[in-house]
Amino acid sequence: MNEVWIRGAAMTRFGRHLDRSARDLVEEAVRTSLDDAGVEPRHVQAAYVGNAVSGLMSGQESIRGQVVLRHTGLAGVPFVNVENACASSSTALHLGWRAIASGMEDCVVVVGYEKLYDADKAKSFRAFNASMDLGELARRFGGDAGSGRSVFMDLYASMSEGAGEAASMDPGALALVSVKNHHHGALNPYSQYREEVTVEQVLGARRVAGPLTLLMCSPLSDGAACLVLTSRDFQRSRSGGVRVAASVLTSGRADDLSKRSAVERAVERAYAQAGAGREDLDVVELHDATAVAELHLYEEIGLCPPGEAGRLVRDRVTWLGGELPVNPSGGLLSRGHPIGATGAAQVVELAWQLQGRCGDRQVGGARLALAQNAGGWVGTDAAACAVHVLQV
């Protein structure tokens, strides 16, 4: 298997870009990433483009990648359009990794993008909710399932009610996750929200579902991210970069409770592929769609034993300056969550961290990083999960 390297990494600022098109956002990310890699469009052999809901938001279906990349100079190479809920661009990254690892290609671009924000928030929420089994939603909610709000928040709220998790899912721990990630996001010029928040502000914000307040939930966002992948010996890119030590994609167990979760299986395989474990990690980006999700994932990816997730955030283990910083970018809660771009953006952040390019949010001496990105929900599990391990 050939080594796969990230030579270029770039993203737009995430936020509400009402005055910018999806094509405009993608062109910025692709141009900057190619410049970062020292690669010209003519050197690229394929493009893998992740997007989740463009069809529902704008009506653009079928050839989304060809449309947004039309003016980038990449026309003519194979385009692969990838839709896999919030894991769309991390799935695109996995496919690009497979192409180079297998020796089929030597230089590809991976793009993730989304235009999720709309003045009609019900439209955005309907698009979000389409990442679940709509038949099941109709049975649970009736009519226009979940219209006007994200039913994912109900799902995450239910995760906080399990008796075994009560010690780690109390409101104080949940609030600290939001405080931490907004603190990190305030240091990130690409973050949607760059303001610090307090525990009191988080707990006093509007209630969304169960213990979740608005500041414990990721926002609607627009944005794009791009990665340039090459083989180790590709001669037309700059030297250096970050090696992809592991790339794993799993699907969820649906209703089969005899299987472990998609996250647990993906992380175990990624550790084995990278020849590393939790004790070797220096920095993590994970899918904090809500504060509950972050604490839940601490346990699923093996950062702590069951019931101890709250301790990690209270003892500042997962803060910048702690033993294992989690979501130094600000995560989905603060950096934002344009769902088709989120997975690629996580890896952009980690590539920058391993190259020492993150300024005030830099994790000192980072050598090994893990990104976990999940997408959708079916039955009892995430519909998809991608885990990547990066190394310098």
- Annotated catalytic, 43? no
Residue 367 CA to residue 352 CA, distance in Å, equals: 11
Spell out a b/e string for 81-113, using b for 16 or more CB atoms within 10 Å of the CB, else e: bbbbbbbbbbbbbbbbbbbbbeeebbbbbbbbb
Q: How far is CA 240 from CA 102, 138, 232, in A?
A: 21, 51, 10
Catalytic residue, candidates 17, 86, 184, 358? 86
Tokens of residue 340, six digits: 């088709």
The greatest distance separating any two alpha carbons of the chain, rounded to the nearest whole angstrom, comes to 57
**What number of H helices and E strands is found in the chain?**
14, 11
Instruction: Reduce the DSSP state of residue 72 to 3 states and report it.
Output: coil
Let me know: does 370 contact 327? Beta carbons within 8 Å.
no
Q: What is the bridge-based pairing of β-strands 222-231 and 4-11?
A: antiparallel
Catalytic residue, candidates 182, 296, 337, 388? 337
- Annotated catalytic, 388? no
Alpha helices in 47-190 (DSSP H): 54-57, 64-68, 88-101, 121-129, 134-141, 152-159, 171-185
CA nearest to 159, candidates 17, 300, 264, 29: 300
- Residues counted in the chain: 392
Hey, which residues are catalytic here?
A: 86, 337
